[in-house]
Amino acid sequence: MRDRPVSEFSEDELREYLCEHVRYEIGMFARSVGAIAGTSGESWPENVCVEVFTIHLRNLLDFFYPPKRQYPTDVFAKHFFSSSERWKPPPKTELLRHSHIRAHKEVAHLTTGRKSSRTEKLWDVAAICTDLLPLIHLFAHEADIVCEGFEADVKKDTRQVGLTPMESASVLHQGYSGGRIRTCDLRVMSPTSYLAAPPRGVGPC
C-alpha cells in the first residue's frame, strides 16, 4: 500500500499521528539527553546515545523548519495549524542551523563532511537543548490540531532537560542564541550542562 499524502489526512488522523509520532520524537530527544548523562563519558554507550540525540534533533528541526525539497508524505509543524501561516517559528539560531547540517552530514549520511578530530566531533548538548526547547514548547502550546493532553505530555517529557515552558517563553521573547551553557570537561557534569562526546569517537566498540 502506498504512503498517503499528508494533505489527505483528516484532523482526527493528524491528531493520532501527533500523539504517536511527533510526541515520540520529542520524548526520544529529551530521553537521549538524560541517557548521555548516564554514560559517564564511556565511549561506546555515549556514542550510541549521542547518535540517538542527533537523529531526533534532525527530525525535529526538519519538522519545525521544513526543507526546500519536500515530499507529499512529509509531515511538518504547519500541518497542525488551522492555517499553515499560523506557524511562524523564530529564525533558526546559528547553533541550530549548524547542528542541523552536522546531523545530516556527520550522522545520518556518509559524506566527506564527517570529522576525524575528537574536538571537532563535540556536540554542545546543553546549548542545543536551550535553543530547541522553546520551539517545542511553542508548538505544543499554539498548535490547533492536537490530541488530548498533548501539551501536558510534552511538558512532562521535557521537564528532565532543563527549561520550563515559562522559561522557554522568556527565551523566545528576549531572542535566543546558542552557546550559553558550556564546559570544557568531556565528562558529564549534569543532564543539562556538558559537552557530549562525538558519534563514532575514538575508543573501543
pLDDT digits (tens, 9 = 90+) for 138-164: 999 999 999 999 999 999 988 877 555
Query: How confident is the prediction along the chain (205 residues), in pLDDT tens digits per residue?
Result: 369 999 999 999 999 999 999 999 999 999 998 888 888 777 888 889 999 999 999 999 999 999 999 999 999 999 999 999 999 999 999 999 999 999 999 999 999 999 888 888 889 998 999 999 999 999 999 999 999 999 999 999 888 775 555 554 444 444 443 333 222 222 333 333 345 545 444 333 2
Cβ pair 185, 38 in contact under 8 A: no
Q: Which residues of 73-112 are buried (b: 16+ CB within 10 A; e: fewer)?
A: eebbbbbbbeeeeebeeeebbebbeebbebbbebbeeeee
Residue 190 lies in a domain: no
Residue 183 lies in a domain: no
In which domain, by residue range, is 55 found?
10-174
Q: Coil, helix or strand for 89?
A: coil
Please state, in angstroms and rounded to a whole number, the distance separating the CA atoms of residues 99 and 138: 20
| Nearest Cα residue to 135 out of 100, 98, 87, 179 | 87
Residue 3 lies in a domain: no
Look at residue 167 in the predicted model and tell me its pLDDT.
Answer: 53
Residue 201 lies in a domain: no
3-state helix, strand, coil in the chain (%, to 5): 55, 0, 45
Count of domains for the chain: 1
Residue 191 lies in a domain: no
Helix residue spans in 65-205 (DSSP H):
94-102, 125-142, 150-158, 165-174
- Prediction pTM value: 0.81
Residue 203 lies in a domain: no
Residue 5 lies in a domain: no
